[in-house]
Amino acid sequence: MRFIRNTAAILYVLLWISCIYSFAQNSIYSIVTCPGEDTRTQMNISWAADTSASDSYLLYTKSGDRKWKKAEIVMPEQYLCPVFDSVYSKTSSGENFYESALFMKCNASLSHLKPDTEYAYKVISASENGDTSDIHYFKTSGANKWSACIISDFHTYTPLPKRLDAAMGVIDKVHDYDKNIDWILHMGDVCAWGGSYSFWKRLYQEDYFKKYMWAGVNGNHDNMTRKYLLTNDFFRNANYYPRNGYKGEEGVCYYFRYNNALFVMLNNENMRSDEGLAAAREWVRKVVTANPAQYIIVCEHYQWFFGESGKASQYGRWSDLFDELGVDLAIAGNNHIYLRTGALYQGKETDGTYGTVYVQTPSSDNERGVAIKDSLSANTDIIKYRWSEGDKTVGAMHIKVTNKGMTLVLMNRNGEIIDRFKVL
Ligand SMILES: [Fe+2]
């Protein structure tokens, strides 16, 4: 009898803990560390809080401060975010439904951080007995040597969870290759429908969002709903990127400094027209001119070259400006075929000491890949390497940067190095 009573008591406590835990999991979510404009001293933290919960705030400290004795509080800017609510979508079990996603969007700006330092933070609900998030970590830039994982096109789709598993699995391999990566860079299409908030919410539960800063570009899939409603509001409100983009693109197009590199992040969806392209080009010229850095890296979603034929895609719209501005590395995704060039200037390969290297990442979801069927029919002199595993492609990249140059590696799902190149 006593045994039964004790067991009942234990079960009751476990149930109580699990209720608290699920509440804690539910009222603060989608926490993601984004770069501030200068990642040596600034980071932007984004999260969502239930409208029923009271105000939430961020507590951060250096990760060596194990008892949080020197922790500081940062109150976020917050607003009611309506853009994802009632969007037609799919549940994880594949049923049609309308998303219920009205939440307080919280944006915390951390500044005056110490360069090259690891920090820990948690998000706390201000109410009595308020929930506390898991501890998240990030590292400020400032070290002369740094490295990152680069990934794209995994199209998180909760009815098919193996897509996300495949992408996180290949990040594991990049992480095995270099346990000291500092952050993760993505080239877009991280969600199948960016309008489906449940997809973002699921994505942000992954451990790699607890350990690293993520920076990325808006992909065409991130920019749309299931019913093809198109807007950059999804990408803007699922993240908190620096608001230093041009009109209409604040928090979507942005630039940030990662130690000795300037990253310029573009949104292809707003440059489909000539006017849109001109506005983007003008902004890139202004940003690069005003922010001199050892390395200039431009990122966008749409491919520089069509991977199947080798014909120019976005390369034709940007290469003259990249020549003019001395862009060192141009990274893209979308095509689902990995492709890279040598260093190019005025359409020709250089000796590598100047010019822009163009690279586009493969897909990583083991499902939506594109096969290479034919040999190149264009640009055979400047395209150095292509790779795909057909529709079941899983690949990611590693970038290591020192004062002497950048080394990039393409890796498959087994962690085997498929391609390696240097950018001087
Ligand atoms: Fe894609």
What is d(CA 12, CA 18) in angstroms, rounded to the nearest whole number?
10
Distance 345 CA to ligand 1 centre (A): 28
**pLDDT tens-digit profile of 65-122?**
999 999 999 999 999 999 999 999 999 999 999 999 999 999 999 999 999 999 999 9
What is d(CA 208, CA 199) in angstroms, rounded to the nearest whole number?
16
Distance 409 CA to ligand 1 centre (A): 20
Is 60 exceeded by the pLDDT of residue 11?
no
Is 60 exceeded by the pLDDT of residue 395?
yes
Distance 186 CA to ligand 1 centre (A): 12
Distance 336 CA to ligand 1 centre (A): 6
**pLDDT tens-digit profile of 154-166?**
999 999 999 999 9
More reliable by pLDDT, 9 or 200: 200
Rounded to two decimals, the pTM is 0.93
Distance 307 CA to ligand 1 centre (A): 13
Distance 156 CA to ligand 1 centre (A): 10
Binned at pLDDT 50, 70 and 90, residue 126 comes out as: confident
Residues 6+ apart with CB under 8 A from 232: 218, 223, 248, 249, 252, 267, 269, 270
Return the SS3 of 49. Answer: strand
Distance 411 CA to ligand 1 centre (A): 18
Distance 43 CA to ligand 1 centre (A): 28
With contact defined as beta carbons under 8 Å apart, do 172 and 137 qualify?
Answer: no
pLDDT of 12 reads 46
Alpha helices in 215-308 (DSSP H): 233-238, 274-290
Task: Tell me the mean pLDDT in the region 200-219.
Answer: 98
Q: Which domains does the chain have, with CATH numbers?
A: 25-87+94-138 (2.60.40.380), 140-423 (3.60.21.10)
Q: Cα(first)–Cα(last) distance of the chain, in Å?
A: 76
Distance 121 CA to ligand 1 centre (A): 32
> Which pair of tokens denotes residue 52?
């029923």
What is d(CA 370, CA 153) in angstroms, rounded to the nearest whole number?
12
Average pLDDT of the residues of the chain: 94
> What is the DSSP secondary structure assignment for residue 269, as one 8-state letter?
G
Binned at pLDDT 50, 70 and 90, residue 6 comes out as: low
Is 70 exceeded by the pLDDT of residue 259?
yes
Distance 365 CA to ligand 1 centre (A): 9
Distance 374 CA to ligand 1 centre (A): 21
Residue percentage of the chain with pLDDT more than 90: 91
pLDDT of 26 reads 67
